[in-house]
Amino acid sequence: MTHTQHIGFIGGGNMARSLIGGLQASSAGEYLISCYEPDPARLATLAHEFNISPALSNQALVDTCAVVVLAVKPQVLKQVAQALRVNNNKIPLFITIAAGIRTTALQRWLGADYAVVRAMPNTPALVRAGATGMYATNNATAEQRQLAESILRAVGLTLWVNEEPQLDAVTALSGSGPAYFFYLMEAIEKAGVRMGLPAETARLLTMETAFGAAKLALEIQEEPAVLRQRVTSPGGTTERAIAVLNENQMSAVVERALLAARDRAVELAEQLEK
């Protein structure tokens, strides 16, 4: 960046806190950050913790910022967007992290086809290990896309999709994905306890195994199938366990689960945009 960018956050919840913290940790004063949060106590805490400027209103951010991050719940985004008035001499880029709200709906609520980047981060962003799918409207400039990417990259991996409906698949895969892994970790931990391990031992072994497997996959960059085959010795314990998973069609169950999540994302979008 050649100059300081003024970024405004509407909403001061967990994801906004993560992004603000990530931006401050990854930049060297290239961002001026402001935030408006209707809860005065939460806003004061944010301002003190991150040394950012508290805004007087949502409108104040739109009037002064180059980028406005809409970090509010999907159920209130329509109300927030419809109340904003954009000065034609200073039209910001809008970034929305509200799940399920399509860019066409947001532009309609804002009153014009402003440049919008829709992002789908996931909860590991809270520890700066997130995965975010992103989609930009056609009128977003290359510079705006780069700026949006730099903001979301502060909390983890960012990937662009070319078609907005693909974000429904992103929602099903990575947006909801942490819950699938927590579900599996929960099941493994319980099985370990039933086999006689102390609860704390089973939990620590489960968490470290999940972390190690993900780290190994990222660093070696082999396909999961190849990594699985390498640790599945013929006639060994892993082969016996994988056989049980295959007998119960685990792969097909996972696919059905993700398809169900994707379909629900589409349904929620239609409901929220009415």
| Superfamily covering domain 5-162 | NAD(P)-binding Rossmann-like Domain (3.40.50.720)
Question: Which tens digit of pLDDT belongs to each residue from 106-135?
Answer: 999 999 999 999 999 999 998 999 999 999
Domains of the chain, residue spans = 5-162, 177-268
**What average pLDDT does range 253-270 have in this prediction?**
94
Q: What is the pTM of this model?
A: 0.89
The percent of residues in the chain predicted with pLDDT above 90, rounded, is 82
Q: What percent of the chain has pLDDT over 70?
A: 98
CA distance 111 to 105: 10
Q: Is the pLDDT of residue 89 over 80?
A: no
* Per-residue pLDDT at 212: 96
Q: Which residue has the higher pLDDT, 1 or 194?
A: 194
CATH number of 177-268: 1.10.3730.10
Confidence of residue 28 (pLDDT cuts 50, 70, 90): low
What pLDDT is stored for residue 29 in this prediction?
Answer: 62
| pLDDT reported for residue 30 | 77
Instruction: Name the pLDDT band for 3 (thresholds 50, 70, 90).
Output: low
CA distances from 51 to 15, 44, 141, 184 (A): 17, 10, 30, 39
